[in-house]
Amino acid sequence: MSEEQREALKDMEQEEKVNLLVSAGLFPACGHHRVIASRELAEEEEDFEWVLKWSGVKVLCPPEGQRWVNSVRILGFYDNLKFGKQMTFAEDMAYLRREYVSKYMTTDGKGYKEPVSKNKAAFRKKISAVLQTKHSQTIGSAEGLLARPPSTYGLIRRVLNGDVEKPEIPFNTVGGATTLHHLACLPNNLVEGYLLKVIKRETTTHEVNLEAKRSRAIALAREHISRYCKKHYPKETKDFYDWDHFTKLWPTLEQVADQAKGYWQIRGGERRSGTCRR
């Protein structure tokens, strides 16, 4: 919901408020006890329409302090569940994604807006505060999932929320950023391919993370080559942001990246000046 809609909400009639919240995928509620009672009553009376509506209501807490304020900002409604109930990792990530989009992302969704280093540092600080960690790997993994174009993040959101095919088969939702640590550092086209396999239930998040680890060397080679090309051929690569854009212009780059992956397997994340040529 936009800030303009939040302000307009204050002066709306009740029916208008409900319509706006429902259209935004949110649901207004008065509190934990009312939610539970209404859900039980709907089930008792077999009012399946209201069973469905009340089942979509999320119960958040604690009812005061910064964490409660953050909860309200994410989902748009209040609650009074007793203190101690923690938000899920998916809900924390939903809040952080909103922060990234509203404060740090470029208008075209292709990375951080200028000044990049300042915004990147500020967002990493926000991730550390929300996830309550100072572990650099955890922060980096979360950032690698959050700082993605809308199309890629849409798939990440589905996996975080357990919105996958074959719902009759139990699905273990992601409990932390490090579960997808190796996936978080891959380019968008590879990330999307892996996530689609998870969504279609062709593999698990654990298996995907291991497969992503094996792909990391080739991904680092592609990233290095892309940076080199962007630096030395700025006009030709002005609007390039995916590996496919580079290989369409220079088909031989795929072979170069494949040959260079051995270096990155040994060196890990180390960077060096390249020798990429047309």
Task: Render pLDDT for 202-233 as a digit per residue (tens, 0 to 9).
Answer: 989 889 888 887 777 777 788 888 989 999 99
Judged against a pLDDT cut of 60, whether residue 117 lies above it is answered with: yes
Instruction: Judge if 32 and 136 occupy the same domain.
Output: no
| Tally of domains within the chain | 3
**Residue 158 domain-assigned?**
yes
- Encoding tokens for residue 137? 């790997």
**Residue 62 domain-assigned?**
yes
Instruction: Judge if 102 and 16 occupy the same domain.
Output: no
**Residue 208 domain-assigned?**
no
3-state helix/strand/coil string of the chain: CCHHHHHHHCCCCHHHHHHHHHHCCCCCCCCHHHHHHHHHHHHHCCCHHHHHHHHCCCCCCCCCCHHHHHHHHHHCCCCCCCCCCCCCHHHHHHHHHHHHHHHHECCCCCCECCCHHHHHHHHHHHHHHHHCCCCHHHHHHHHHHHCCCHHHHHHHHHHHHCCCCCCCCCCCCCCCHHHHHHHHCCCHHHHHHHHHHHHCCCCCHHHHHHHHHHHHHHHHHHHHHHHHHHHHCCCCCCCCCCHHHHHHHCCCHHHHHHHHHHHHHHHCCCCCCCCCCC
Task: Please indicate whether residue 157 or residue 24 has the higher confidence score (pLDDT).
Answer: 157
Instruction: Judge if 265 and 167 occupy the same domain.
Output: no
**Residue 209 domain-assigned?**
no
Judged against a pLDDT cut of 50, whether residue 270 lies above it is answered with: no
Share of the chain above pLDDT 70, in %: 71
Of 58, 85, 112, the domain-final residue: 85
Q: 104: domain range?
A: 88-203
Task: Render pLDDT for 43-71 as a digit per residue (tens, 0 to 9).
Answer: 777 777 776 666 666 555 444 455 545 54
Of 69, 85, 101, the domain-final residue: 85
Judged against a pLDDT cut of 70, whether residue 248 lies above it is answered with: yes
User: What pLDDT was estimated at residue 170?
Assistant: 87
Of 203, 230, 262, the domain-final residue: 203
Instruction: Judge if 95 and 186 occupy the same domain.
Output: yes
Judged against a pLDDT cut of 50, whether residue 77 lies above it is answered with: no
Instruction: Judge if 24 and 44 occupy the same domain.
Output: yes
- Encoding tokens for residue 196? 């689609």
User: What pLDDT was estimated at residue 25?
Assistant: 60
CB distance 74 to 98 below 8 Å = yes
User: What pLDDT was estimated at residue 15?
Assistant: 67
User: Which of 4-13, 93-102, 163-172 has the lowest average pLDDT?
Assistant: 4-13
CB-based contacts of 167, cutoff 8 Å, min separation 6: none
**Residue 47 domain-assigned?**
yes
Judged against a pLDDT cut of 80, whether residue 6 lies above it is answered with: no
Q: How confident is the model at residue 118 (pLDDT cuts 50, 70, 90)?
A: very high
Instruction: Judge if 160 and 256 occupy the same domain.
Output: no
Instruction: Judge if 134 and 191 occupy the same domain.
Output: yes
Top mean pLDDT of 78-82, 151-155, 267-271 is at 151-155
User: Which of 61-70, 81-90, 171-180 has the lowest average pLDDT?
Assistant: 61-70
Q: What is the mean pLDDT of residues 150-177?
A: 88
Mean pLDDT of the chain: 77
User: What pLDDT was estimated at residue 55?
Assistant: 64
CB distance 226 to 246 below 8 Å = yes
User: What pLDDT was estimated at residue 214?
Assistant: 76
User: What pLDDT was estimated at residue 57?
Assistant: 61
Task: Please indicate whether residue 25 or residue 123 has the higher confidence score (pLDDT).
Answer: 123
User: What pLDDT was estimated at residue 267?
Assistant: 52
Distance between CA 194 and CA 205 in Å, rounded?
A: 9
Instruction: Judge if 142 and 75 occupy the same domain.
Output: no
User: What pLDDT was estimated at residue 34?
Assistant: 59
Top mean pLDDT of 132-141, 252-261, 263-272 is at 132-141
Q: How confident is the model at residue 32 (pLDDT cuts 50, 70, 90)?
A: low
Instruction: Judge if 104 and 198 occupy the same domain.
Output: yes
CB-based contacts of 267, cutoff 8 Å, min separation 6: none
Distance between CA 106 and CA 151 in Å, rounded?
A: 15
**Residue 210 domain-assigned?**
no
CB distance 179 to 209 below 8 Å = yes
CB distance 145 to 156 below 8 Å = yes
Distance between CA 6 and CA 24 in Å, rounded?
A: 11
